[in-house]
Amino acid sequence: MATEPLLVAENLHLRFGTTVALDSASVAVHAGEVLALMGPSGSGKSTLLHCLAGILHPDAGRVTYAGRDLTAMHDSERSALRRTELGLVFQFGQLVPELTCLENVALPLRLNGAPRRAALRSAAAWLERLEVSDVAGKRPGQVSGGQGQRVAVARSLVTRPRVVFADEPTGALDSLNGERVMQLFVAAARETGAAVVLVTHEARVAAYSDHEAVVRDGRVRTMEHVR
């Protein structure tokens, strides 16, 4: 018997001024699966990802997470959910420049109230998992793009979220580095049971997913089973 999807977007509409970014976009993500959002530039992939993550609010339509209507929640409730159950990885790191890489990974745990030592211990384990223990004491400005992206992936998984959202997670990396980041990212997500929703232009990156949704003109046109 098929299980209920964990995250569902139904008929999302969103305009930025006169630009229609989403035009009845619908998609569903199951627990533990990797979904790639593909499609031409400007088709609405990032907007859809941001709506799924509860960062953008659609003008119409509904996003349901674990049976709860994200679109109807108060901002504070949605923020709490993002801190505890959702993780984010973006293309340009978005690590805090003043903190070391280790402190960056520990940060989401600290924000959730974990004691400093326990948070640093977990963060160190995640840096090791992503094969970047050597940059623990460095600041983001002192590490390479690939290392920074691995640190960002570690930070997104440290709270053991149920869904991780990634917007072009390897977009700034060369193909070898990008490939390794994807391998480590997907393996770690599968290990923790997290679902992954990622936006990518690259077929090589999408090849790590279970399903591929093609977004065109603000709508999910096709949904393909990859593996």
Ligand X SMILES: Nc1ncnc2c1ncn2[C@@H]1O[C@H](COP(=O)(O)OP(=O)(O)OP(=O)(O)O)[C@@H](O)[C@H]1O
| Minimal distance, residue 200 CB to ligand X, in Å | 9
Q: Is 91 in the site for ligand X (CB under 6 A)?
A: no
- Tell me which DSSP letter residue 127 carries: H
> Which lies closer to ligand X via its Cβ, residue 47 or residue 149?
47
Residue in 202, 158, 210, 149 with CA at minimum distance from that of residue 177 = 149
> Which lies closer to ligand X via its Cβ, residue 45 or residue 219?
45
Q: Select the residue interacting with ligand X from 16, 137, 142, 204 (CB under 6 A).
A: 16
| Minimal distance, residue 51 CB to ligand X, in Å | 10
| Minimal distance, residue 205 CB to ligand X, in Å | 13
Q: Which positions from 21 to 60 touch ligand X by CB under 6 A, shown as an x/- string?
A: x-----------------x-xxxxxxx-------------
- Tell me which DSSP letter residue 169 carries: T
Q: What is the rounded distance in angstroms from the CA atom of residue 13 to the CA atom of residue 11?
A: 6
Residue found by looking up tokens 């402190």 in the block: 103
Q: What is the rounded distance in angstroms from the CA atom of residue 146 to the CA atom of residue 175?
A: 10
| Minimal distance, residue 178 CB to ligand X, in Å | 16
| Minimal distance, residue 35 CB to ligand X, in Å | 15
- The residues near 15 (Cβ < 8 Å, ≥ 6 apart) are 21, 59
Tell me how many degrees the CA angle 89-93-99 measures, rounded to the nearest 5: 115
Residue type, position 38, single letter: M
Number of Cα atoms under 13 Å in the Cβ half of residue 202: 15
Residue in 225, 109, 37, 73 with CA at minimum distance from that of residue 63 = 73
Q: Is 200 in the site for ligand X (CB under 6 A)?
A: no
Q: Is 19 in the site for ligand X (CB under 6 A)?
A: yes
> Which lies closer to ligand X via its Cβ, residue 45 or residue 78?
45
Write out the residues near ligand X by the rule CB under 6 A: 16, 19, 21, 39, 41-47, 199
